[in-house]
Amino acid sequence: MATIALAGMTAFLATGIAAQYLRPDLDWAQVPNSFYLIGPWGGMVRAGYYAMALALVLLGTGGYRALPTETRSAAPLLLFVAGGAALALTALATTDTWNHPPTLHGYVHGVAAQSAFLCTTTAMLLQAWRLRGDARWRRWFRPAFAYATICFVLLWVQASWRALPRGLSQKVLIVLILGWLVAAAWRMLRGPGHDEVRA
């Protein structure tokens, strides 16, 4: 599951980066990612979103199974699944564009996008918190929880500080969240005791 999750995250990152070069008509610093889902190359970007949605579900399932029964919690698993579902819905519902009247599908897109961010960052916090209860994973609790906290705080900063460049601030937040998710999947793939065995 961790291997497939990493592949999905890589696909999401690759399609996201490619879109920045393939859509020179969009100002990457001002335009949010949602605008890349429509128009030329929109299908490629949507495929990346679907791959990331699957990765979130697999990461949540893998994280749940990696911990012993007494340490597990269904909360981060359910939040990762909800985040993945919300991300897929984000790709399906077309966003509203500037200088056009609001639409129902644009409203659905906005709610789904914010839900994907909120569910995923909250799941990161809760999953990291569970690590403290297992001796094998406890050494990763502090860095994982601190990193997840930074992402959670920055999510609210990005949402409330409207003066920030929308595209740039969103892309920085996405990269930071993706960094935590990739690190978590990589650590699950290698196992908590890999470094100790190697030493």
Residue-wise pLDDT tens digits, 102-149? 889 889 988 999 999 999 999 999 999 999 888 888 889 999 999 999
| Unique residue bearing structure tokens 């860095």 | 143
Closest CA to 7 of 173, 185, 177, 147: 185
- What pLDDT is recorded for position 137? 87
User: CA 172: distance to chain centroid?
Assistant: 12
Distances (CA, A) of 178 to 25, 82, 147, 175: 26, 17, 11, 5
Measured CA to CA, the distance from residue 68 to residue 84 in angstroms comes to 24
- What pLDDT is recorded for position 197? 38
Buried b (16+ CB within 10 A) or exposed e, 65-103: ebbeeeebeeebbebbbbbbbbbbbbbebebbeeeeeee
Across the chain, what does the average pLDDT equal? Answer: 90
pLDDT string in tens for the chain (199-residue length): 889 999 999 999 999 999 999 999 998 889 889 999 998 999 999 999 999 999 999 999 999 998 888 888 899 999 999 999 999 999 999 888 877 788 898 899 889 999 999 999 999 999 999 998 888 888 899 999 999 999 999 999 988 888 888 889 999 999 999 999 999 999 988 876 555 434 3
Question: Which tokens is 123 given?
Answer: 């799941």
Distances (CA, A) of 147 to 98, 150, 161, 173: 34, 5, 21, 12
pTM over 0.85: yes
